[in-house]
Amino acid sequence: MSVIIVMRFQADPTALEQFANANAELMEGISSAGQAAGAIRHSFAAGEGEVIVIDEWPDEVTFQKFFESQPDIPKVMQAAGVQSAPEISSYRKIDAPGEF
């Protein structure tokens, strides 16, 4: 059963979007590396002064190995103004009727 990983950063969403759009190749490279490592889904969302990353991975260990070894993620975090480590939560995915 896969897990949903939610990472919460205190960051500037506009700065992240601008950096991501100006560095599409870097962002696509991180995504491709994540998929090769086992990532199933990946998306960003923003709130007031915060960014969250919502991923689905086969298990928490696989995500953690990728996150800790990926050299380009710190560049993205720095561009978004992240000042501290993200809050990372892991949730067991529930398969239920009506899901889409």
- 19-32: per-residue pLDDT in tens? 999 999 999 999 99
Q: Are the CB atoms for 8 and 52 separated by under 8 Å?
A: yes
Question: pLDDT category, 99, cuts 50, 70, 90?
Answer: confident
E strands in 30-98: 41-47, 50-57, 87-92
Which structure tokens are listed for 3?
């897990």
Can you list the domains of the chain with their CATH numbers? 3-92 (3.30.70.100)
For the segment 20-48, the average pLDDT, to the nearest whole number, is 97
d(CA 8, CA 89): 8
Predicted TM-score (pTM) of this structure: 0.90
